[in-house]
Chains A and B, each alone.
Chain A
């Protein structure tokens, strides 16, 4: 029935895209969120992914896992993997820890391309996936909720030499927070690998460690009181799998000890642990003028529509 004559003999998925893109370079391939991506552009992006994966050491026959919703990056990544001759392992973005661990270990995937929102989840189970070497984050889709009744944010920047490596950075901060919660009476709090403080299976705080040049940037959000998320979802609009990860079961100090500690109590407890850990004092201070410029600029950027 079909009069298709682009593909005339058996070919790999990568070769098929190449041939179609050659014939329909300027034709629309992907329509997404008001954007149009032509076959020529799609092919080039797949090539970039293939080259990028090769630079990371991925070879033909290697498995590369994918945890992505229906966004253009899914298609670039899928065909990039195909062009490289590797094997794509796309799996359900709704999967939880143990399900992901099983698929990653069974397939022996050396890399995973995942939506940025899933980084906390992957970090937490990373030490259970020994074959995984590269975590590749797609999209600028991080999502954090803060509220006066419930959250407190702690951030600091340290020279990388203050910690052994990224793992140690996570662990040090995780343990400091864990002890802070114990000091506040939440003795059930415990630090789970790379990213979360949990109590009774629920999330009590999140730790994110980023890096730039010679610095680690530590950013944490802790729940002192219950966080009600319904309001936020009237404003922000995310796919169900993302929502599912954002609203994973949470708890708070208030729910654990029956009382919400004040910000000052939390601050003082954390500062004591910080001083203890680093053997140095913490003194109140201000941002310098030059720092204020950087701060102000970012603040203005953050509020752009």
Chain B
């Protein structure tokens, strides 16, 4: 392939005419040299490099090669020449242009006949996207000594945004004190972490569970953390095996996947895990038992919320385990059951689970109304309904608010409804939770159109995908003529929720992970 003779390939271009030989100084069709830097004004003329048969590396080479030569100086590129060049390229094979930190399967690339070109590291004085700063640059150019500022422990260390019932996500303020209470009281009472522990971090660190019980607690205790940036059962299993992991913090789906993989390859099941925590949703007893046996470990089920800097109670493995319970409150946490009038209820009476203690948030950032709705009478109101048994174990039976929880992430039906309603073809929408085959909550949308037949459910799904995080995108859409409403016009979600479990969900969800 004639890599450099771009000019010669130019046919029918404006002012055609063969370019000079590739190695000649000064190709044909040069305009006058550009004016000195800083002088704006009419552009003196462009040199067109047209390369219809390029490849991925050609695309990179033009963008960076010309400028690298420019800064490297030793190539003696004239300052005047460079800013006159426009490059237009097609490619003749499929290609990937990958950043230096991306993993590429070279064998697969050969098999699929895909060229892979690597972007050079930008380095100290490399090319930088306009209006951005490079973290690597920031790190290499800054001093490595710094003393942690002695800020007020009651100042928010973190804002974590979580969806409520009222639409847009709210920023939960978690202070240094909140994290200190979680690490010094809650964690040691339920989950002993030691410096020699190796903790697998597979859940996203932007979620309270991994952030608080994974990252912050690991550092507090001097543990080692094995980061898994891409979840698949195989990845997780090999991370556990390769790192000799002793602690695992995960969600029920992952335990189920691990179990499925482990059943297939029994001989290579890692048996290093000293203990596991499962959170986000209940885990079936049968799964716990089989997992504990195969992996020679213990699974404790935790319960907590973003507003309580993660865990507040734990249903322990072994003798203390009670099926269906979230366990008794952890050290430093008080829990109670409250009725709608604000009275604390006795054992075995149904009400809202309320929580107080050092782990509870001060409130929502910039949102005093939402704070007052959730924290009053000295208690944080969880929105979960349930009761306490005579042994002090708590049980969740229902949810007070129209919240949908999937994989530990809160989803506000209102927020999804509002997103759907921004489509000009939609009249209105109502979103509810339905149960999938595995008894997990899934989002279902009922949509009323302005004109019947103007948009399909798959177009609606795509519209949502473009505007919402994937876990919020409804798995099911149903186009209806009208929404059931009460006399004051409020949508009756309960009637919509009456929908049966849908079998089609399974297949789609299996592709999710």
Contacts and interface: CB of A to CB of B under 8 A. Distances in A.
Contacts of B469: 92, 94-96, 99
B169 A102 contact: yes
Contacts of A82: 148, 157
B105 A237 contact: yes
B429 to A, nearest CB: 16
B492 interface: no
Contact of B129 (A23, A55, A87, A210): A210
A295 B151 contact: no
A51 B146 contact: yes
Interface string A92-118: 111111110011001110000100110
Given A235-B96, A283-B14, A161 B40 contact: yes
A89 B171 contact: yes
Interface string B173-213: 00011011001100111001111001001101111001100
Interface bracket on B = 35 or more
B371 interface: no
Given A135-B131, A143-B96, A235-B96, A240 B230 contact: yes
Contacts of B65: 291, 294-299
Interface string A224-257: 0000000110111111100010001100000000
A217 B398 CA distance: 57
A259 B81 CA distance: 37
Contact of B56 (A51, A78, A116, A302): A302
B451 to A, nearest CB: 18
Given A161-B40, A268-B13, A281-B46, A144 B159 contact: no
Given A280-B45, A283-B15, A13 B66 contact: no
Nearest to B64: A298
A98 B419 contact: yes
B500 interface: no
Nearest to B120: A301
B138 A136 contact: yes
B285 interface: no
B470 interface: yes
Interface string A9-34: 01111111110100110011111100
Given A87-B158, A234-B108, 5 more contacts: A83-B147, A87-B155, A107-B159, A238-B230, A274-B46
A69 B101 CA distance: 13
A212 B158 contact: no
B98 A212 contact: no
A231 B138 contact: no
Given A143-B97, A238-B102, A285-B28, A280 B43 contact: yes
A283 B227 contact: no
Nearest to B56: A146
A278 to B, nearest CB: 4
Contacts of B121: 140
Interface in A142-180: 142-148, 151-162, 166-167, 169-170
A72 interface: yes
Interface in B39-86: 39-40, 42-50, 52, 54, 56-72, 75-77, 81-83, 85-86
B141 interface: yes
A29 B67 CA distance: 39
15 contacts: A10-B177, A12-B148, A55-B138, A63-B159, A88-B158, A99-B468, A106-B365, A135-B132, A139-B99, A156-B86, A201-B466, A212-B67, A283-B48, A298-B60, A298-B61
B19 A286 contact: yes
Given A99-B468, A235-B109, A13 B179 contact: yes
Interface residues of A, number: 173
Interface stretch (B3-11, B297-305, B372-380, B385-393): B3-11
Given A7-B220, A161-B38, A249-B466, A299 B57 contact: yes
Contact of B19 (A90, A98, A158, A285): A285
A281 B45 contact: yes
Interface in B101-158: 101-106, 108-109, 112, 114, 116-122, 125-136, 138-151, 153, 155-158
Nearest to B9: A284
B130 A283 contact: no
B457 interface: no
A202 B57 CA distance: 27
A45 B470 CA distance: 33
Interface string B196-238: 0010011011110011000110011110111111110000000
Interface in A48-73: 48-53, 55-56, 60-61, 63, 66, 68-73
B225 A30 contact: yes
A20 B193 CA distance: 14
A156 B87 contact: yes
Contacts of A282: 14-15, 45-48, 86
A160 B159 CA distance: 39
